[in-house]
Homo-oligomer: A and B are copies of this chain.
Amino acid sequence: MTAPALDLTADVLTLTRALVDIPSVSGTEGPLADAVETALRALGGLEVVRIGNNVLARTDLGRDERIVLAGHLDTVPIADNVPSHLETVDGVERLHGCGTSDMKAGDAVMLRLAGLFGVPGAQPAHDLTFVFYDNEEVEAVKNGLGRVARELRGWLYGDLAILLEPTDGDVEGGCQGTMRVVLTVPGERAHSARSWLGTNAIHGAAPILATLAAYQAREVDIDGLHFREGLNAVKVEGGVAGNVVPDECRVTVNFRFAPDRDEDAAEAHVREVFAQVLAAGVTLEVTDMSGGALPGLAEPAAAAFVAAVGRPARAKLGWTDVARFAAFGIPAVNYGPGDPNQAHQRGEHVRVDRLQPAEDALTAFITGSPA
């Protein structure tokens, strides 16, 4: 299937609609990646490479600083919400459709910037790298940005990375880490009619749940941003049969931790929280770990960008791909026109009046204009 050609001179709303109307559910990004690649190559001022359905493009003007702009091309599954349509609700014009907020509006802004600064004779204040990647909405192992980091790591180098994920026009700095542990309570099986012959592992989970219920999550300010941690059971399972005292109960706990803790510190904290049950024979296994990212907003490029946007920055509490840049020591922020609350909703939409301001703020930053 060949997608229609993208016109990078069209306004950002038209471009957003064009992107939404080319379906690109994770794993099927080919036609959209083709259209993006073709449009970028046609500009004449960019070096373009492609691996899989990841399309990378960059200027090479010898500027002192390089800004990386990144966005994923894929969406969650379509739910009767493609093609796009406009609706006006309470006087606010909205573009509806799968991926409008998450994050084709951001991709459209990137393509607009490529059209402005990726042409011969353009004079951006910074060199620019554009990264359009696939498979962000599925398992981390498939994530296109991860593949680029492994296979074309030099392409991710820069002084600041901006992910155009939906942030409602705010700058979100850093991201919290996330780890999952499974706490396994042992017991001894017995017929429930003679339960005193066994040891009920589900009953043994009582102090784990009580510890979680009583846990006071830490709040901390880093680089002026406010982070709020959380420790939550996300799964509990136990039971053999309706007449058996169960010999095992498993509680899966998710710890979201501020980026002033590294992975080791996060694990040590969780072990300390559960020290009493661990001493009593409960075992703890770390099943998942992704470190956070410090905001890095004190870095000159990041500070200049926040100034260009002209709105207060806030902490990113979920884990995002900014951590992949942070792992290379590159300051990275989320900033995009989409509404994060609209992500993955059947009625997903983006406010039309958020699109042009995002393009304008980035244009001002890239040209080095005062905010």
Contacts and interface: CB of A to CB of B under 8 A. Distances in A.
A142 interface: no
A233 interface: yes
A200 B251 CA distance: 13
A292 to B, nearest CB: 11
18 contacts: A192-B230, A192-B232, A193-B317, A194-B228, A196-B228, A196-B230, A200-B232, A202-B234, A202-B235, A203-B209, A204-B213, A205-B209, A206-B209, A209-B209, A234-B244, A234-B246, A235-B238, A236-B249
A237 interface: yes
B192 A254 contact: yes
A349 interface: no
Nearest to A201: B233
A242 B213 contact: no
Given A203-B209, A212-B206, A254-B192, A234 B228 contact: no
Given A176-B193, A233-B239, 18 more contacts: A178-B192, A180-B242, A192-B254, A194-B318, A195-B217, A195-B256, A196-B217, A196-B228, A203-B212, A206-B212, A232-B245, A234-B239, A234-B242, A235-B239, A235-B242, A236-B236, A237-B239, A242-B254
A245 B234 contact: yes
B212 A200 contact: yes
A222 to B, nearest CB: 16
A236 B238 contact: yes
Interface in A171-219: 176, 178, 180, 191-196, 200, 202-206, 209-210, 212-213, 217
